[in-house]
Amino acid sequence: MGRRRLLSLSASRSLVSLLISLFFACFSLVNGKSNLTRPSFTHINRDLYHTSVALMDEIKALVHRHPDKLFLETIRSQNKGYHAEMTVVTYCRNRKEIEDRSKFRILLSFGQHGRELITSELAFRILSILSEEQFLPYMDPITLNNTLEKLVIKVVPMENLNGRKLVEAGDLCERRNGRGVDLNRNWSVDWGKKEKDYDPYEENPGTAPFSEPETQIMRKLSVSFEPHIWVNVHSGMEALFMPYDHKNTTPDGLPSHRMRSMLEKLNHLHCEDRCMVGSGGGSVGYLAHGTATDYMYDIARVPMAFTFEIYGDGTASSKDCFKMFNPIDLTTFNRVLNDWSAAFFTIFNMGSQQLDELHRKASVSNLDKWVSIDDYLNGYLMERKNRYGKKMEVLDLGMQEIRTYFRLFLLSSVLLMFMFCSRISKSSRQIVSGIPI
């Protein structure tokens, strides 16, 4: 009897709770505030994606198994208490020939934005194919071997490790580094300019060009390696971009024609002609200032500089970032990795075929380009060759101060010249006035 009474009270309370819930639900519907359509956000699929630690461990183990072809180095840098670490893997068919400057050199960067996990998975897949632990279908092994004999490839699997850790901790929309700076806005070409739709959460360029340790490391790498091809790999859409990002134009002349021809071929062979092709600034719908690809082309003088966007889900909510930037099912995941791995090996093949032509035209193309004072200081003065032929940085710090002092020097020189000319003019008038008529 007592138990029945308890059950009866419990049932009564449940009924009251249900009536209250229905009341508020009806109230919400009447006032247009229903939560029935609240979007559900996709979380990281751990069955498909490595954690950052696990991925780096896999890559280190891969290098350890193939010391004849792969070489790994970890580079660290810090600025004002903020520390960054970057792993760089170098591939060369004969490791003793890594420093051979006659080989065609390719620099690839993945994971510049923390939320774009698929890009680092692609880096791992490419390294696995280079080590011959995985294979590309429909790729002639003889052609592949002949191509790889001519190449040195540097791969940065995860440029933005600190930002990636924030994503793994639950901030799935984070694209910036560990202190809130967008690494693809922290380079010197047209740095700091803000468009009308500027979003500080997305695009913070930092306090100055190269303020971030991550971009400092990448700049040093580009200067010392002198790549013929640079590819910055992103996700969010499907596109093959060439310079420029900061303006709605492409470069003039043969270099531009060469880059566009390569991208159109890749689009046809590996993207079924659905990828957007052209300049980043002219194709994506907005201008981006201070990007890595514009720096690589204009300042580092990389002959072919690209940004690849390898995946995007246009149906995803703008707040459902994992789904927007990364495949969430096994079939799509594998398709993206297979298609874009094949695209990169097509690039390797086309690039090696142009090696002789690039050597012949490198000196002429460099003379054809003029640069501003800022670009000169950021690009040309930051390295000089020592007697052993290797690069060393001489203006790694204080670039902003140097530019400021240089401008002050120019201004003071003009003022001094003006004062000197005024003094001479006054002296001349005094002499003339003292002559008898």
Domain coordinates in residue numbering, the chain = 52-377, 404-428
* Cα-only R_g, the chain: 28
Confidence of residue 158 (pLDDT cuts 50, 70, 90): very high
What number is the average pLDDT over the span 269-296? 92
Residue 161: both structure tokens together: 């490790």
Catalytic residue among 121, 212, 238, 309: 309
Name, of 3-17, 172-186, 339-353, 376-390, the range with top average pLDDT.
172-186
Quote the longest CA-to-CA distance of the chain. 138
Q: The domain 52-377: what is its CATH number? A: 3.40.630.10
Tokens 């696995």, residue?
Answer: 128
pTM of the model: 0.75
Nearest in space to 203 (alpha carbons), one of 211, 214, 192, 190: 192
Whether 393 is a known active-site residue: answer: no
How far is it, in rounded angstroms, from Cα 168 to Cα 322? 11
Residue 255: both structure tokens together: 């270099």
Whole-number mean pLDDT of the chain?
Answer: 81
pLDDT at residue 54 greater than cutoff 80 = yes
pLDDT at residue 41 greater than cutoff 90 = no
Cβ atoms of residues 106 and 344 within 8 Å: no
